[in-house]
Amino acid sequence: MLYSDVVNAQRDFYQSGQTKDIHFTLSQLTKLIQVLKANEARLYEAINADFGKSIFETYTTELGLIYHEIKLIKHHLKKWRSPKRVPTDLANWPGKSYIIPEPLGNVLVIGAWNYPYQLSFLPALTALAAGNTVILKPSEIAGHTSKVMTQIINQNFSKGYFHVVEGGVPETNSLLSHRFDKIFFTGSTRVGQLIYEAAAKHLTPVTLELGGKSPTFVLKDAPLKITAKRIVWAKFLNAGQTCVAPDYILVEKSIEKDFLKELATEIDRQFSFKENLPPNYVRIINQNNFNRLIQLVNHEKVYHGGQIISHLKVIKPTILHKVSFEDAVMKEEIFGPVLPVISFTDLDNILTQVKKLSKPLACYIYGKNKKRVDKIINNLSFGGGMVNDSVLYLTNPNLPFGGVGFSGVGAYHGKAGFDTFTHYKSVLKKPFWFEPPFKYPPYKAWKLKILKWIFE
């Protein structure tokens, strides 16, 4: 079978027990930082070649988050990896009970292209931190970043410990024909379902970080200038190719007109297209996505933007208004710089409509009335979200990051990431000196009475 060599090398290395040595893990995490730092220029160059991403954004949305996560892990790893003593109940007295963290073993990480470094390295390094070995398969759609990741990792880490495999669907399928102890996938819901199926054959646990249509509520008491500023930044970062980007806006009718004006003003302020492309605006990753996105721009509903620079695969930040749930743009995750705005007059009605859609990865609410904000939080199910800002919640490592329903299975970041790649083994230790007769046959009424007293 293809890739048997690397899979077997990782199995053997895991069985050697070295990955369970915390000193080994910490030294490998330090090495990973050194390797990334030494190759930063190449990493910046590759991502720029893939979709024109600036150094600033690559640092703040990719490398910076990776360094931050390693720092946090190194600080807590000893505690996270230590067995924990827990109380022993009366039925099991006398005894000592422990929860012992244990790595799962050999992990496969499959990455997405839109934040190629972060979405590949964050899960991979967390799996390593928990004591696993990792095969990483980045997305072939961002070919330059996939290549540079392969080179720098495979030159610096042993094949049996951390290895990158380049490729697309056939290569992923070959990898999936092997048995892994864990598969961590980031990508679309459609492919996530295929990964889940393939994993089920080996009863391999999965974490699926998927997408969806993340709503953004703008309530009538939200200060419009700052609300527009924050939404425009979050939506058009990476040209909307962000899994947690605000997908569409639900604004209260009474402020719709003023809010649309503020959105347009803010777009012009953040992205000055007067000459050529602004340096901080990325292009659409490939022709397929570009073609898909331009079909979603209904020119009769364009409020602002709508211009397309085909030879550069650029769609300028676009606001659509007078949108309804029946429009094509509301039927799929947009994943691009097109922002539909739907107005509403009754919060309960709009919540009923949103609840009919699949559970989204994120939800954002802008407004000051705590009762109404909490009503949205408590009525809708979503992976995670924010009040009065967007996207940034995922940078807090104390918040588990993941979806729910069609937007994902499982979570990671910080301790939640460590848990994702860890089996918690329960062990109860008993002494020989105490041997009560209750549990043994022959069963008697007096034995049952004592057991009932203990249990009830």
Of residues 262-321, which lie at the interface with ligand NAD (CB under 6 A)?
A: none
Cβ pair 47, 144 in contact under 8 A = yes
Q: Does 184 bind ligand NAD (CB under 6 A)?
A: no
Q: Which residue is nearest to ligand NAD (CB)?
A: 211
Nearer to ligand NAD, 133 or 238 (CB): 238
Q: Does 186 bind ligand NAD (CB under 6 A)?
A: yes
Nearer to ligand NAD, 186 or 227 (CB): 186
Distance CA 239, CA 267 (A): 12
Q: Does 390 bind ligand NAD (CB under 6 A)?
A: no
Nearer to ligand NAD, 162 or 406 (CB): 406
Please select the residue that binds ligand NAD; options are 65, 77, 112, 342, rule is CB under 6 A.
Answer: 112
- The catalytically annotated residue of 62, 243, 252, 333 is 243
Nearer to ligand NAD, 256 or 333 (CB): 333
Binding residue count for ligand NAD, defined by CB under 6 A: 28
Please select the residue that binds ligand NAD; options are 2, 99, 191, 399, rule is CB under 6 A.
Answer: 191
Please select the residue that binds ligand NAD; options are 247, 256, 262, 333, rule is CB under 6 A.
Answer: 333
Please select the residue that binds ligand NAD; options are 39, 106, 139, 216, rule is CB under 6 A.
Answer: 139
Nearer to ligand NAD, 292 or 430 (CB): 292
Helix axes 370-379, 347-355, angle to 10 degrees: 20
Of residues 342-361, which lie at the interface with ligand NAD (CB under 6 A)?
A: 361
Q: Does 187 bind ligand NAD (CB under 6 A)?
A: yes
Q: Does 384 bind ligand NAD (CB under 6 A)?
A: no
Interface characters, 146-175, with ligand NAD (x: CB under 6 A): ----------------------xx--xx--
Nearer to ligand NAD, 186 or 343 (CB): 186
- The catalytically annotated residue of 102, 171, 197, 209 is 209
Please select the residue that binds ligand NAD; options are 29, 243, 250, 386, rule is CB under 6 A.
Answer: 243
Sign of the C-alpha dihedral, residues 198, 201, 204, 206? Answer: positive
Strand pairing category for 362-366 and 215-218: parallel
Please select the residue that binds ligand NAD; options are 14, 44, 113, 406, rule is CB under 6 A.
Answer: 113
Please give the C-alpha separations between residue 327 and each of 139, 162, 214, 244, 300, in angstroms, as whole numbers: 30, 45, 16, 21, 12
Minimal distance in Å, beta carbon 381 to ligand NAD? 15
In terms of Cβ atoms closer than 10 Å to its own Cβ (0-12, 13-18, 19+), residue 286 is: middle
Tell which residue, 359, 415, 404, has the closest CA to residue 208: 404
Strand pairing category for 206-209 and 106-110: unpaired
Tell which residue, 32, 55, 78, 185, has the closest CA to residue 418: 78
Q: Taking contact as CB under 6 A, which single stretch among the options 110-118, 290-298, 320-328, 345-353 is the one that binds ligand NAD?
A: 110-118
In terms of Cβ atoms closer than 10 Å to its own Cβ (0-12, 13-18, 19+), residue 391 is: buried
Distance CA 201, CA 203 (A): 6
Please select the residue that binds ligand NAD; options are 210, 237, 338, 362, rule is CB under 6 A.
Answer: 210
Distance CA 323, CA 329 (A): 8
- Pair of tokens at residue 182: 């864990």
Provide the 3-class DSSP secondary structure of residue 340: strand
Cβ pair 248, 330 in contact under 8 A = yes
Q: What is the maximum alpha-carbon separation in the chain? A: 91
- Pair of tokens at residue 237: 């970062």
Please give the C-alpha separations between residue 305 and each of 52, 82, 367, in angstroms, as whole numbers: 20, 55, 26
456 is catalytic: no
Q: Does 236 bind ligand NAD (CB under 6 A)?
A: no
Distance CA 163, CA 149 (A): 10
Nearer to ligand NAD, 19 or 150 (CB): 150
Q: Taking contact as CB under 6 A, which single stretch among the options 181-189, 274-282, 417-425, 426-434 is the one that binds ligand NAD?
A: 181-189
209 is catalytic: yes
Q: Does 408 bind ligand NAD (CB under 6 A)?
A: yes
Minimal distance in Å, beta carbon 362 to ligand NAD? 9
Please give the C-alpha separations between residue 301 and each of 197, 292, 350, in angstroms, as whole numbers: 40, 17, 21
The catalytic residues are 209, 243
> Site residues (CB under 6 A) for ligand NAD?
110-114, 119, 137, 139-141, 168-169, 172-173, 186-188, 191, 194, 209-211, 243, 333, 335, 361, 403, 408
